[in-house]
Amino acid sequence: LDTGALHADPHAGNLLRASNGQLVILDWGLVTRISPSLRSSLMTYISHVLARDFDAIAGDLVALGFIPEEKKGVIEEDEVVQGISDIFRELASGGAVQRRISDALPVLTKIR
């Protein structure tokens, strides 16, 4: 992200580490350039995930463009924030996320 390039499929078959420590990209198919503001939003999102600050993720999804700006008021409602938080908590714990997404769908339909 430092350079403004994002690889959407980073795995050992697509990337190598050269003997001098540089990253070598073997497959450029899922690489895109991202703006400084999107980089910042993505880093904020990642830091919230790593810090397990799941309540902040709803706002991150707006900043990243996954949820339209005009729906921002809806996702600030406690039940929607809680629904999104529950999904991310379940993902982080390695639990049955399929069940949690089903449980959260009624709340998340408000975003549409």
Q: Name, in order, each residue with C-beta under 8 angstroms of 46's C-beta and a sequence gap of 6 or more.
A: none
Range 85-94, long-range pairs (CB < 8 A, 24+ positions):
85/54, 85/55, 85/57, 85/58, 86/54, 88/49, 88/54, 88/57, 89/52, 89/54, 92/49, 92/52, 92/54
Given 9, 53, 55, 60, the catalytic residue: 9
Scanning the structure block, which residue is given the tokens 């810090």? 51
103 is catalytic: no
Known catalytic residues are 9
